[in-house]
Chains A and B, each alone.
Chain A
Amino acid sequence: MKKKLKFTGLNVDRRVTNLVILSLMFSIAFFISIALRGYILENNSLPGKEAYFSTIVASDILNFRENPAISARAVPEVIWPALIAFFSIIFRVNEEYSIIALSLIFGILSLILIYLVIDKLGFKKRNLAIVFFLISPATIWMFATYSKFILPFFFALLMLYLLLSEKYTLSLIALGITCLFGAVSGISALAFSLLGFKKGFWKWFSKGAIVCFLLISLIYFAFPVFPEFSFSFENLFSLFASLSEFGINLFAFLLASIGIIITWKERRERKELFSIYLTFTILLVLSVLNKEFIFFFNFILIFLAAVGFTKLIERNWASNLIRVLTLMILIIGMITPMVVIPLRVASLEPSKEMISALGFLRSQEDGAVLSVKENGYWIKGIGEKEAFVDEFRARANKGLEEDALDLLKERNLEKLEKEFGESDIKYVLMDGKTKQLFRTKDEGILLLFLYTDRFERIYDEGGIEIWKFSREGRGNL
């Protein structure tokens, strides 16, 4: 549909205008979380752990350094950093700028794809669905923390768009690329593909399932660490609490339920509804079992929420007052995460205190650092020191986290000296999380800090301590 724009006099497709406006909205929302962290909280680091993992791997790729993820052939973990490295080479920017730019670019591209997919699905309120997508906690979380799921989410949408456009071979390729990001992405993409159900679909689906199965098997053959599936309240919580980290919005869920209830009557006339219900159910169950599915479930959820919201607006209300109040509450419920989640993302660790401590560590001589696994990526990314354990290594080597905890709980200096020597550990980083492991001030390694001269406290600010281990000294308790 073409519409003459008053201010330019140009004939522009209305969809283009809408997409430009929505992309601008996305960009503003994207930069708000960066501005909140950088200017208001005065923290110029990347938010969270995941972004640091990606930039570290990208940096190691660029500098041809050895990296545990590359050595372990962890394909799903390396593609996103590889793209960051590639972007850095092409545009001659550092990895931090690359990850931000790529997140923004793929965010806008995903937005365009969602718009086109919803258009293909025949739902008229595309703008509403996109707005719901933009303000949903999972979306804000995914793009503001530069998650590794940005890329598979984009490819899953691309696969769906190509499938709906009847470009079967291309959609199969897109599905294959999505599967390279692991089982979560592959299964989600297959669930998405159900939305493209029409005559001859099962033939395509069986090919897609085989491609997925082969690729995922290959990936896990190279790096045999499987995603964990467990029904837990924590998953449910992330799923239902609108104010938690990357959970879905409860109001979106309520609206989606209304959408399902209202459209249920039309299910016999509109067969495509079955595929929507099926995709919704599959991804809902999977999201409860593994919270990473939430990023994909969010798409079908916001679609159904938009349907529910539209039906509520279009309904003939018996009381206008109730209509206004209900819609007001729904709008408040829907936009609350837009305020809360960027704030939450902005205040994610590493804190200013941690950055300052790691900045100090960077100036020290080389040596590995012992701390809890949660600090691992920052020790490497900001402190530029090798961490004894980080989350990736803990995942790849199940016993490593336990080893780190054992070392922190160790009171025997001789044993500790031997272990430290083997792993080249020279520093112990004690932050709030690490200190929580101890109930008293003279437990585990704390006893050695207190009563031997082998450990020297070289940093103590903002609740973070760095202890340097020396091989010389009395050592006796």
Chain B
Amino acid sequence: MENKTVYAILALILLSSLAANLYVLYYEPLHEDAYFSLRYAEHVKEKFTPLTSDELSYGGRNLEEPFLYYYLLGLAAKIDENLVRIIAALITTSIILVVFLISSTFISKGLSLIPSVFAAFLPAMFKISIISPNVLAFLILFLLIYSFMRINEKGFLYLFIILSFLLPLTSFLSIFFIFAALIFLFIMFIEGKRLSELEWETLLFSIFVNVLVVLMMFRNSLLSYGPSFIWQNIPSSVLMEYFREFSPVEIITVLGLASLILGVIGFAFSFKEKNSLLLSSFFISALVFLWLRIIPFSIGLILLSLSLAALSAISLKVLNPYIKRTKFSKFRDRIVQVLFALAIITSVVPVVFAVMNYESKVSASTENAIETIGGNGSVILAPHEYGHAITYAGSKNVADSLFLLAPAPDKRVKDIEIVYSSQSETTVLEIMRRYEVDYLVLDDYAREKFGVNELSYIGDKKCFSKVYDEKETKVYRFKCG
């Protein structure tokens, strides 16, 4: 395949991915976690300082969040508000380019399109917030791999150094990188392979940088929770839903059958070479992190998917000479085309479904309700998933999904559950008073989550009055505070 054709197809893949991302960002309700990024970006835009304490979250708490991504969005927001979503979509799309570049170090540019398709259409990507620092971290992680592969070439050493500094300032996933780098060194040692002086030094350097910045950045969390801070203080009840169990069918759907098969073959053959071993270290680390439930299921799946996509290049590299030696060699181009078609079918179809069925937990009507009643520092009680949408509207929440350093998140999440599911008005009133709640949100998501249709105590007109009732969303004002 000619280079021009390859680049044209690559551009097409990039554009379709960008279009899908922009569609979700502009035409669907925002993912519940995206509100936090937008709020942080607004804070940066206005004050240009990191958000270290939040008056609205949990009624007031300290924050320890890597800030780089938010500063990037804040700067974009300074230029134009629309740029925030465009930059988020561009970052997501750029990952495909990096996977293409990594693959092209193993196979031809034409064949590299197959791993690129796998990376372009990740259904798991639509399960997380696209406006999230983790997305930038994915890009940096795979750029780190790429620059490490070409560390001996001019410019890549500087790129690796800069990225090593940027990663821990971007996301919690720097811990994943440290672990993956250690796994890589361990496998290299076991396999008796040697790293060049420069490779050894750069890897050591990147581990040190990440460790230092993580220690500095999460100092208070480390002091509060010890090493268990890597579980991010997530309440046990949330942990159950947050880290879902592996379901083989779900994995195949989310990863894509072709990507999974080619990726696993690639993994099996990856131990021969140091560069491919680096990809395998990422794959193993993603598995370990998922197994230990250190990263959210969707984030883990994306890391797994991206590693598999890149590893599929190894299997193509291995299979190519085999095909040449067999009688199928004359059908080589056809086989590649079939593989490409398979890649598209097994990856694009689930993504189309994912985009079509895209649902934010904060529905459009609930978002509207929160915006209508919020903005005056009032306290809104809702499922913790709505927490960032509430603070984005200028109200205080009882709990949200940033559990690290949050005051008693376990108790608060349980209390929210009690408010929705309790039959005892006395208990509910006590909780509502304790958190000085002004409004209570009830919508379909809350109904489904807590298994209730209506709140049994809501008939008490003395304490509750309905102030919003549109579509499935109702908001009650609490008057007995």
Contacts and interface: CB of A to CB of B under 8 A. Distances in A.
Contacts of A316: 197
Contact of A237 (B197, B204, B227): B227
Contact of B198 (A237, A244, A250, A322): A322
Given A236-B227, A241-B223, A318-B197, A332 B212 contact: yes
Interface string A311-339: 00000111101110110011011001000
A233 B226 contact: yes
A240 interface: yes
B212 A251 contact: yes
Interface string B211-241: 1100110010011001110000000000000
B328 interface: no
Given A233-B226, A322-B157, A317 B208 contact: no
B94 interface: no
Contact of B208 (A321, A323, A330, A336): A330
Contact of B226 (A236, A242, A336): A236
B208 A329 contact: yes
Contacts of B211: 250-251, 254, 333
B227 A319 contact: no
A329 B205 CA distance: 8
A241 B198 CA distance: 29
Contact of A317 (B201, B215, B222): B201
B168 to A, nearest CB: 12
Nearest to B207: A254
Nearest to B197: A318
A318 B212 contact: no
A322 to B, nearest CB: 5
B235 to A, nearest CB: 17
A99 interface: no
Contacts of B223: 241, 243-244
B226 A326 contact: no
A330 B204 CA distance: 11
Contacts of A318: 196-198, 201
Interface in B352-394: none
B325 to A, nearest CB: 39
B209 A329 contact: yes
Give the interface centre of A240, A243, A321, A322 by most chain B CB atoms within 10 Å: A322
Contacts of B202: 319, 322
Given A241-B215, A333-B212, A322 B227 contact: no
A234 interface: yes
B238 to A, nearest CB: 20
A237 B223 CA distance: 9
Interface string A213-245: 000000000000000000001101100111110
B87 interface: no
Contact of B161 (A236, A322, A330, A340): A322
Contacts of A244: 222-223, 226
B198 A243 contact: no
A263 to B, nearest CB: 16
A361 to B, nearest CB: 31
Nearest to B411: A439
Interface in A242-283: 242-244, 250-251, 254, 258
A234 B212 CA distance: 20
A326 B197 CA distance: 14
A326 B205 CA distance: 5
Contacts of A234: 226
A47 B245 CA distance: 48
A133 B1 CA distance: 63
A241 B228 CA distance: 12
B161 A325 contact: yes
Contacts of A329: 205, 208-209, 212
Nearest to B199: A318
B223 to A, nearest CB: 6
A329 B219 CA distance: 17
Q: Which of B202, B205, B207, B211 has the most CB of A within 10 A?
A: B205
Contacts of A254: 207-208, 211
B249 to A, nearest CB: 35
Contacts of B219: 243, 340
A319 B201 contact: yes
Contacts of B216: 336
Contact of A241 (B196, B207, B222): B222
B227 to A, nearest CB: 5
A165 to B, nearest CB: 38
Nearest to B164: A325
Contact of B157 (A236, A321, A323, A326): A321
Contacts of B226: 233-234, 236-237, 241, 244
Contacts of A322: 157, 161, 198, 201-202, 205
Residue among B204, B226, B228 having the largest count of chain A Cβ atoms under 10 Å: B226
A332 to B, nearest CB: 6
Nearest to A232: B226
B175 to A, nearest CB: 13
A17 to B, nearest CB: 33
A237 B198 CA distance: 32
A234 B223 CA distance: 10
Q: Which of B161, B196, B208 has the most CB of A within 10 A?
A: B208
A233 B228 contact: yes
B225 to A, nearest CB: 8
Given A233-B226, A244-B223, A333 B198 contact: no
A249 B201 CA distance: 21
A250 B210 CA distance: 12
Nearest to A242: B215
A244 B208 CA distance: 18
A341 to B, nearest CB: 12
A241 B201 CA distance: 24
B233 to A, nearest CB: 14
11 contacts: A233-B228, A236-B226, A236-B227, A237-B222, A254-B211, A316-B197, A318-B198, A318-B201, A319-B201, A326-B205, A329-B208
Interface of A: 233-234, 236-237, 240-244, 250-251, 254, 258, 316-319, 321-323, 325-326, 329-330, 332-333, 336, 340
**Lowest 5 A-B CB distances belong to which pairs?**
A237-B226, A318-B197, A318-B198, A326-B205, A329-B208
Given A242-B215, A258-B204, A325-B209, 12 more contacts: A234-B226, A236-B226, A241-B215, A241-B226, A241-B227, A251-B208, A316-B197, A321-B161, A322-B202, A329-B209, A333-B212, A340-B219
Interface of B: 157, 161, 196-198, 201-202, 204-205, 207-209, 211-212, 215-216, 219, 222-223, 226-228
